[in-house]
Amino acid sequence: MANDIIKIENVSFKYSEDDNNLALKEVSLNIKEGEFVAILGHNGSGKSTLAKLVNSLLLPTEGKIYVKEMDTSDDEKLWEIRQSAGMVFQNPDNQLVATIVEEDVAFGPENQGVDPKEIRQRVDESLKAVGMYEYRKRPPHLLSGGQKQRIAIAGILALNSECIILDEPTAMLDPSGRKEVMDTIKLLNKQGKTILLITHYMDEAVEADRVVIMDNGQIKMQGTPKEVFRNVTEIKRYGLDVPQVTELSQALALEGINVSGDIIRIKELVNELCQLKLKI
């Protein structure tokens, strides 16, 4: 069994002392090394707060968070924690700092005082891993949104982070940019990176090993995408949708067409309908 790379233990959080509202209420969640976890929840449910807590940008009001056994409240471990669990944000334009792609990717390791030869190697490998090596001499502002997000991801890879936390990385992208970023995330996960993806898109969440549903600062449901999305009524109660194909499959089942209630991909529904057709 893989180890837990992230442990969130009974964490509550409020943004200010005199605030009666908790942004997070007694949240517990463990994430295994190499796991791909998607977090869903409507606006204000606490997703970004949770991500910032894991990255030690915020500290728990109550409870504990450990990244690779390091307590996120431990000042001395701050940079090691941020390096182990790098974060990608929503807006691609707010994350790139240099005027040339490869300089941007080198920025993190340079700040850490990594040996220049080693930096060169890490930058090249990271850019290749996200499919942006050919663009290494370009100015980032001329790239598409999807390409910029891939550069932001390369910047994290250059730090040798084991875990990548992405807070709605595709929210500002067009469909082709979204696909580029999702393909990159899936590939990195296959290569062993732990992924924590916050998203509003169901078709992105179905790619995860585990889906976590948040509402009102709490975790309400979790399981494999199939386990979670078959509960259409409950998910809608949290202001969320299920994949359209899940809803369509359940509507067909209600009409007496014998398809499964936990279909999450178009291909699965097509396969089941073809099987039924063969039986007629």
Ligand X SMILES: Nc1ncnc2c1ncn2[C@@H]1O[C@H](COP(=O)(O)OP(=O)(O)OP(=O)(O)O)[C@@H](O)[C@H]1O
Site residues for Mg ion per CB under 5 A: 48
Separation between Cα atoms, residue 165 and residue 88, nearest integer Å: 6
Residue 44 binds which of Mg ion, ligand X, none (CB < 5-8 A, kind-dependent)? ligand X
Binding residue for ligand X (CB under 6 A) from 18, 20, 43, 75?
Answer: 43
Q: Does 20 bind ligand X (CB under 6 A)?
A: no
Which is it for the CA torsion 245, 250, 251, 253, positive or negative? Answer: positive
Binding residue for ligand X (CB under 6 A) from 46, 92, 155, 169?
Answer: 46
Measure the CA angle with vertex 47, ends 74 and 201; round to 5°. Answer: 140
Identify residues 212-231 at the interface with ligand X (CB under 6 A): none
Report the residue closest to Mg ion, judged by CB: 48
> What's the length of the chain?
280
Residue placing its CB nearer to ligand X in the complex, 40 or 130: 40
Residue 122 binds which of ligand X, Mg ion, none (CB < 5-8 A, kind-dependent)? none
* Token pair listed for 104: 């941007």
Residue placing its CB nearer to ligand X in the complex, 17 or 255: 17
Identify residues 51-70 at the interface with ligand X (CB under 6 A): none
Q: Does 41 bind ligand X (CB under 6 A)?
A: yes
- What's the 3-state SS for 125-161? HHHHHCCCHHHCCCCHHHCCHHHHHHHHHHHHHCCCC
Binding residue for ligand X (CB under 6 A) from 4, 7, 27, 47?
Answer: 47
Burial class (CB in 10 A: 0-12, 13-18, 19+), 11: buried
* Token pair listed for 105: 């990717």
Instruction: For the CB of residue 201, give the shortest distance to ligand X in the complex, in Å.
Output: 12
Separation between Cα atoms, residue 123 and residue 157, nearest integer Å: 8
* Token pair listed for 115: 């040996």
Binding residue for ligand X (CB under 6 A) from 4, 27, 40, 49?
Answer: 49
Residue placing its CB nearer to ligand X in the complex, 51 or 123: 51
Beta-bridged to residue 219, according to DSSP, are 214
The piece of 38-46, 63-71, 127-135, 236-244 that touches ligand X (CB under 6 A) is: 38-46
Instruction: For the CB of residue 89, give the shortest distance to Mg ion in the complex, in Å.
Output: 9
Binding residue for ligand X (CB under 6 A) from 23, 96, 188, 235?
Answer: 23
Separation between Cα atoms, residue 85 and residue 232, nearest integer Å: 32
Q: Which positions touch ligand X (CB under 6 A)?
A: 15, 23, 41, 43-49
